[in-house]
Amino acid sequence: MERWPSLLKPLLNLFLESPCPLCQRSTGDDFCRACQRQVQQCQLLNPQQCWSDSLPLFVWGDYSGALRRAIAVFKYENQPQLARPLGHWLAHSWLTHAPTAAKRPLVVPIPMHPAKQKKRGYNQAELLAATFCDITRLPLNRQGLKRVRSTEAQFTLSNTNRDQNLKGAFQVEKELFRANPSTPVLLVDDIYTTGATARAAVQTLRDCHIDVLGMVAIAKPSFYK
């Protein structure tokens, strides 16, 4: 009888395999080995290199190549389970490289407008934040920020219009923050590009006298410092 599990395992794996979301080859993991290697090659050596900026930023990888594609698939091709590997890598990077002076923060994802989230079925930043908190053991407030105004897609706008577009887009869930007013917030998003979204979220929090420790994100294009 004891031999059964070892005999059954390859058979069971066969049934549990699914297409790799990046190349469609069959795999028992979130990515096939080849794609996982390619995505992990985008990992930054110094994830905390922007931690000293006006909005401290901690990023897992460079927004290019396989990582860029993985994030697009995660967001736009109904692959919410990719929050698992991406959130894991971000969390482990944080545990290894987090700025030592960092106070234990409350983790809050960048929210989506409810109409957009309903259409997509999930908020990728919230799923990433949940995995991130599972591993780092940091407290999570999924709804700490709300998106109260629908905004135009940022990429359609010039840089100067981006900040304007996001003005008043967020609102703080006050009841929840009142419970621990001295805890700083660590924001989570999937990508950090121009920082307009992050700036708008930070401004909303600071207007409510809530401290912001910084932001963590999976990826940032290398051409934005």
Number of chain positions touching Zn ion (CB under 5 A): 5
| 22 near Zn ion, judged by CB under 5 A | yes
Question: Is residue 73 within the footprint of Zn ion (CB under 5 A)?
Answer: no
36 or 165: whose CB is closer to Zn ion? 36
Q: Is 67 in the site for Zn ion (CB under 5 A)?
A: no
Q: What is the DSSP code string of 150-212?
A: ----GGGS-HHHHHHHHTT-EEE-HHHHHT-TTSPEEEEEEE-SSSHHHHHHHHHHHHTT--E
Smallest distance, Zn ion to C-beta of residue 21, A: 8
Closest CA to 87 of 122, 62, 60, 112: 60
Nearer to Zn ion, 23 or 157 (CB): 23
Site for Zn ion (CB under 5 A): which residue of 32, 67, 90, 112? 32
**Sign of torsion over alpha carbons 107, 128, 218, 138:** positive
Q: How far is CA 218 from CA 4, 159, 179, 190, 214, in A?
A: 41, 22, 29, 5, 14
Decide if residue 39 touches Zn ion (CB under 5 A). no
CB of 201: closest distance to Zn ion in angstroms? 33
Query: Smallest distance from the beta carbon of 20 to Zn ion, in angstroms?
Result: 3
Answer for which of 7, 16, 29, 35 binds Zn ion (CB under 5 A) is: 35
Least separation in angstroms between CB 90 and Zn ion: 20
Q: Give 50's strand partners.
A: 57
Which one of 3, 12, 18, 20 is in contact with Zn ion (CB under 5 A)? Answer: 20
Q: How far is the CB of 87 from Zn ion (least distance, A)?
A: 19
CA 114 to chain centre: 18
Q: Decide the pairing of beta strands 145-147 and 106-109.
A: unpaired
Of 23 and 102, which has the nearer Cβ to Zn ion?
23
Q: How far is the CB of 224 from Zn ion (least distance, A)?
A: 28
If one asks whether residue 176 binds Zn ion (CB under 5 A), the answer comes out as: no
Measure the CA–CA gap between 167 and 164, rounded to whole angstroms.
5
Distance CA(83)–CA(180), nearest Å, equals: 28
Which chain residues interact with Zn ion by CB under 5 A?
20, 22-23, 32, 35
